[in-house]
Each structure stands twice: as structure tokens, then as C-alpha cells.
Structure 1
Amino acid sequence: MKQFKKIIFLAVASAFFLTSCTSDDDAIVPSSEPLGTYENGYFVLNEGGSSSVTNSIIFVSEDGGRTNDVFRIENPDAEELGIYIQNIFFDDSRAFIVAGSGSVTVVDRYTFEYIATISTDLESPRYGVVVNGKAYVTNNGDFGTVTDDFLTVIDLTDYSTSTIVIGNYLDRISALGDKVITTNNAYGTEHSVSVVDTNALTVTDIDLGEGNTSNSIEVVGNGVYVLTGSGKFMEIDLVTNTIASTLDIPASITGTKNLDIDNNTVYFTADTSVYSFNLGDTTVSEIPVLTYTSTSDFGVMYGFAVKNDVIYIGDGADFSSNGTFYEYSTSGTLLSSNVAGLGPNGFYFN
């Protein structure tokens, strides 16, 4: 009888233990529900021509599947994105699509469902970044003057806007902590970057030296790096607002642009070639990682990115017909060649 009671007790205790463990496991196992159709993969932004119906956004999934024109597929009744779409930037849940004609369209980052359109305090907007619940968008303003270029500040709780006048030809933008940094690109005549303290709302210009026009910027860890068309790779110190270091790219490599940094390897382009070196190197090899063939007069390396050891190139062709986007390995092997839309100018990873 005692043995029987012992068996009953062990059975009940085991059942309780298993139930408790199952309950605990259920509580801590994260949901595997996908966030949306466009969760894993990248977007190809095709800027289009002088009509808003000519732009498009392609999505390429991790398994290589492709969806054309995702904004119109998901939002058949929404207004068009605008003319000359320039850039996509993100916060945790939203994507912001910048159109040069003067708007920012907000969609769900993973479903691409339309949320809102922002069209106030924007004039020839270019690129954006999110810092502490606000979006900062560079604007060229009036192309005839350098004094009116500004940042649009968008409060992401209600999409209200305000502006910060910078007074340089603004283009690219990145952020580190509470500061945003802009490249100032007056078609080869500007030679500074601007640093905006988003708390104090102060603007500090850092002079890069005569002839050093910054055209691209990257933030890696606590490092801020800019590339100039004159072949200078510079690290910016945001504590002292000075140039911390400069690496000279060989004079034989001209027209340097499209800075990107992936896994501590620095990549940039010149004409139809991609070059690389490691962060911390003191010299740059003249031998390219790859060179591709293009017949485009103005669309060579029109879009460029490097992510997880894959190089992405967008070629604009003649801008009246579809361009091409390529995937290469970082050793220079062509992985894929794909038909793009009109003017593929960027790659954005989700």
C-alpha cells in the first residue's frame, strides 16, 4: 500500500513538474510570426523620371524571390510617391521614402502599408535619418544659392515639421548618438561637413580643406568617416569637431565616391571599379576588387552598397529605359545580374 501511494505521489509530482516546465517554456519562447512580407531581404530604389508613375521599388527576399513595384502592390489606392525618389530610411517599424519633388511617404517597414505623406517644410529633399523619435531630412532648397539649404525635422509622433537652416549644399546624412552629420556637396566647390547637435540645436561646420568635397559618409561604432571626390578618406572627431585622420587614395584612382563599410572593410568606387581596404590601413591598393562593364554616360555606379560580404551595384543605363542591378562577392565574382527599374539609385536592407 505504501509503495502504491509512493507511485501515485511521484506521478502527480511529475505531472506538476512537466506542466510547470511547459508553462515556463511557453512564456519565454519568442514568437516566430513574421513581421511582414518584406521582413528579410532588400529593396532596390528606382528613382524614375519626370513623371511619378515611372519610379518603382523592387524587393528581393533572402531566398532570391523578387517582387516588383511593392508600394503600388500594397497600396493600389494611395497617392503616387512623387517625382525622383531619392532615398529610403528607417526607424524600428517604419520606412520613409524621400521624393525630390518635395515629400516623404511613410509606410510600415515590413508590410509596406501606407501610413502618411509629409509635404510641409520640404524643398528638394535628399536623404534622411532618425534620431530619438525625430527624422532629419536634408534639403537642397533653391539650387541657385547656398544660404537656404536646411534640415527638415519631423516629429514622428504626429508628423509635424520644423526646420534647421544649415546654409550649405546638403546631401548625405548620418547620425552618431544625439548628433547628425551632413555632407556638404556644392557640385565640387564645398569642402565641409556640418554637425548638428539635436539637443542644443547648434550647427558646427568642419572644414575638410580646399578641394575636398565630401560625397559620402559612414558611421561605424563610434567612428565617423567621409570620402571626398579628391581621394581623401577622413575620420571625423565629434568631440573636438576636427579631422582625426586622413588617408590618401592613390592619385591614379580618380573620381572617388560611394563610401561603404562592411565588416571593417572600406569600399568605394571610381568609374566602373570597386576598391577596398581595411579600417586602420595606411595605404590603399590600386588594384580593384572588381570592374564591371557599362555603356551609361551618367549612370555608372548610380547605386552602390555592401552588406554581409555582398557588393550591390545599380547601373542607370540611359535613364529612359530600365537599368540593371548586380550582386558581386567581395572577391569580385558576379553572383547575379538583374533588370532594374528606371534609375536604380540605392539598396536598403530589411
Structure 2
Amino acid sequence: MKKYLFYLPLLVSLFFTACSKDDQKDIIEPITPGKYADGFFIINEGWFGHENGSVNFYKYGEDTIRTNVFKKENTGKELGVSTEYGSVFNGKLYIVSKQGPFVVADAGSLKETGRITELPANGRAFCGINATTGLITTADGVYPINLSTFAIGTKINGIAGETGAIWANDKYAFVISQANGIYVINSATLAVVKNYAKGAIGFALSKDGSLWAATENSLIEINPQTLTFKEINVPKAPFASWYAWEPGSLTASTSENAIYFVSGSSSWSPTQIYKYVIGDEASLSKPLVTLPENKVFYGSGLRFDPVKKQLIAYTVQSGWGENYKYNSLYFFNASNGEKVKEINFEGFYFPAVAVFQ
């Protein structure tokens, strides 16, 4: 989805000139703690080679983005490099970077409550299992984390190599592996109980209770209780790449029995949102949304807002270099794709994923 070569330091130096702090001024002044429940976070990769990851915040009813809120609440503390994932679990925001610390903050105040300085391998995604246990996927398997002490346990047996998306219910955790598709882990024993050999991105839980993943040319419907899998060949499916892992775009409505994803004629720079009304293949015959000509999705690109029942899309200007500085946050009607509003702001943030409480 992104221009992956941009991450090479040499190319970065060619495409960008030095950017001072004044070039990335925050749109408004810091907000007071305790007001982060009424909106959603955007986890940002950060400007590779220049700045670590960051967290922005959109407060419902406003027409601006509150930027760098983690830094404002935690003076002197940094997130890691290429911060790619966030998840709210039991009132805590868990922030995963590919390199550097795994950070935990209170989701209401954003005050840091704990961190692991370095993971056993480059971080990918996090999922809470119960009050004391979480799982984190990495470039080399899946590790349990004690959420009370932040101690990392032994790598889960049977899963090696690159892992990405993760989702859990009270019985099972589902993990996507680059080499071997979808693994199912017993949430109590942390033992692998099943492997489905396909799957590149995930996960989204649809209104009917089905869990969804995808390959590059099909959708996978999973019964998360009985562990039955059904692959559905569809005319459009999400783009997935393990070259430089990022959260997939697959997201589900909480008001309709439908899932959404980004796709398009160019897998490197997708520009369209598709809506799959479950069971109706014809719903994928045309895109629900097509971005303006000069915009492309970045990071996961898309999430369904369960509070406002809208689609939230994050984009940058198409092209290279300075184009990455120009961000647009879009709000779309999830039923018909009509644009509700658009917020434009500047800064080399590189949005990875929106996180809702």
C-alpha cells in the first residue's frame, strides 16, 4: 500500500529536506487528560529516520486533529520506530512498534502505565486475552505477555516466522502467519489447536458473528466457535503484502451485516473502498467509494467507527517526497459511501491505524 522503498534511509534523504519542528506545528494546543474517550486515536508510523511513531486524536464534533497527544501527556518519553498498531483493551491503549518499546497507556488520559523496552523480535500486533494475559505477534512468532508485570513469556510452540493480525474471543485466539495462513490458539492453554493454510490479512467480526480474513483473491469466513472455515472467491479482495507489514484494511460494520476493505487498480496505492454485503457477491461489482485523483490510502487505510457508524479513512497525497506531508481524514456514510466531511492537516505522520474505545 505504501511506497515501501521510502523506508530506505538513502531514498529518504533524497526525497526529503530537513524539516524543523516549526514545519510540523500542532494544529491546536494540548488537550487536558481525561477527555480521550470521546473520539478515536490514530496511531502513526512516524517519519522513518527522523521521528519515532506518534498518536493523534480526533474528538467527535471537532473539525481538526489533535496531534502528538502521547508526547504531550508523557514528556520525554518516545514510542518506537515504525509504530504500526494500537488496541484498546480493559481501559488501556497498547501501542506496538516494529522496533523499540511496546508501550501501554491509560486510554482515558494517555498517561503511560508501562513499557517493554525491546520485544524478542520486531513487533506487529497485540490482542488481550484476559485481565492478566495478552498476545503479541512479531516477525518471529507469537509471545504471551503478562499484563500485570509486563514480562514476556516463552514463544508459543508451533508458530514460527512472520506473524501479523490477531483476534481473540473467550475460547480462541486467531493469528495470521505469512508462511502458514491462520493459526488457532487455545486462549486458556496457549496451545495451537488448528491451522488453516490460507489467509494473508484479517480480522473483522461481522454482525452475524462470523470472523473474516482474506487472501489476495478471496475472503475467508470463519466460525469462531466451531472453527469451521469457508473460502469465498470474490471479484474483489483486499490487497495484502508482507514486504513491509501493516494492519490490513478489513473492517466490519456493527449496524449492517457487511464488511469493508480498500483495493484498486494499483496494489501499491489503492484508492477505492469496497463493501461486501455478506452473501451478496454482486455488492462487490463496483466500489462504494473512490478517492479524489490526488489521494491514496496509507497504512491500513480504513476502519469502521462503531460509535458514529461511519467509515473513517486516512490518506496522503499521491506521489513521493513532500506529498506524504499532506494528510486527509475522511468520514464516509457506511451505507451509501457519501462523504460526510474531510479534515486536511500537514505533517509527516504516516498514519497506520485508527483505534476506537
Q: Scaled by the length of structure 2, what TM-score is found? A: 0.75
Does structure 1 residue 229 correspond to structure 2 residue 229?
A: no
Alpha-carbon distance in structure 2 between the residues aligned to 1:239 and 1:265:
20
Alpha-carbon distance in structure 1 between the residues aligned to 2:299 and 2:138:
23
- Amino acid in the other structure paired with 2:221: E
Gaps of 5+ in 1: 1-33, 141-148
| Residue aligned with 1:53, SS | coil
Task: Indicate the structure (1 or 2) with the bigger Cα radius of gyration.
Answer: 1
Does structure 1 residue 164 correspond to structure 2 residue 156?
A: yes
Q: Identify which range, 95-104 or 118-127, moves more after superposition.
A: 118-127
Does structure 1 residue 36 correspond to structure 2 residue 27?
A: no
Contact 1:129 1:135 in 2 (8 A): yes
| Residue aligned with 1:161, SS | coil
Contact 1:52 1:81 in 2 (8 A): no
Match of 1:327 in 2: 331
Alpha-carbon distance in structure 1 between the residues aligned to 2:82 and 2:118:
18
Matched positions, count: 297
Contact 1:120 1:161 in 2 (8 A): no
The 1:340/1:118 distance shift into structure 2, 3 A limit, reads farther
Alpha-carbon distance in structure 2 between the residues aligned to 1:260 and 1:340:
26
Alpha-carbon distance in structure 2 between the residues aligned to 1:319 and 1:54:
18
Q: Identify which range, 254-263 or 40-49, moves more after superposition.
A: 254-263
Alpha-carbon distance in structure 2 between the residues aligned to 1:121 and 1:150:
11
Match of 1:206 in 2: 195
- Amino acid in the other structure paired with 1:226: A
Please point out which of 200, 203, 217 is paired with 1:217: 203
Cα distance, 1:70 vs. partner?
Answer: 0.4
The 1:176/1:196 distance shift into structure 2, 3 A limit, reads same
Alpha-carbon distance in structure 1 between the residues aligned to 2:127 and 2:68:
24
The 1:76/1:215 distance shift into structure 2, 3 A limit, reads same
| Residue aligned with 1:72, SS | helix
The 1:54/1:161 distance shift into structure 2, 3 A limit, reads closer
The 1:132/1:319 distance shift into structure 2, 3 A limit, reads farther
Does structure 1 residue 349 correspond to structure 2 residue 343?
A: no
The 1:202/1:157 distance shift into structure 2, 3 A limit, reads same
Q: Scaled by the length of structure 1, what TM-score is found? A: 0.76
- Amino acid in the other structure paired with 2:34: G
Alpha-carbon distance in structure 1 between the residues aligned to 2:88 and 2:350:
21
Cα distance, 1:138 vs. partner?
Answer: 0.4
Match of 1:275 in 2: 274
Contact 2:206 2:259 in 1 (8 A): no
- Amino acid in the other structure paired with 1:155: N
Contact 1:302 1:343 in 2 (8 A): no
Contact 1:121 1:152 in 2 (8 A): no
The 1:87/1:300 distance shift into structure 2, 3 A limit, reads closer
Contact 1:193 1:207 in 2 (8 A): yes
C-alpha deviations, 1:228-269, integer Å up to 9, x for none? 112x111123455441x3322116x67476211112221112
| Residue aligned with 1:71, SS | helix
The 1:113/1:254 distance shift into structure 2, 3 A limit, reads closer
Alpha-carbon distance in structure 2 between the residues aligned to 1:238 and 1:114:
33
Please point out which of 313, 337, 344 is paired with 1:338: 344
Cα distance, 1:213 vs. partner?
Answer: 4.0
The 1:254/1:43 distance shift into structure 2, 3 A limit, reads closer
| Residue aligned with 2:337, SS | coil
Contact 1:52 1:82 in 2 (8 A): no
C-alpha deviations, 1:142-165, integer Å up to 9, x for none? xxxxxxx22121111211111324
The 1:191/1:281 distance shift into structure 2, 3 A limit, reads farther
Alpha-carbon distance in structure 2 between the residues aligned to 1:276 and 1:191:
27
Alpha-carbon distance in structure 2 between the residues aligned to 1:156 and 1:197:
18
Cα distance, 1:214 vs. partner?
Answer: 2.0
- Amino acid in the other structure paired with 1:293: P
Alignment identity in percent? Answer: 20
Alpha-carbon distance in structure 2 between the residues aligned to 1:54 and 1:289:
34
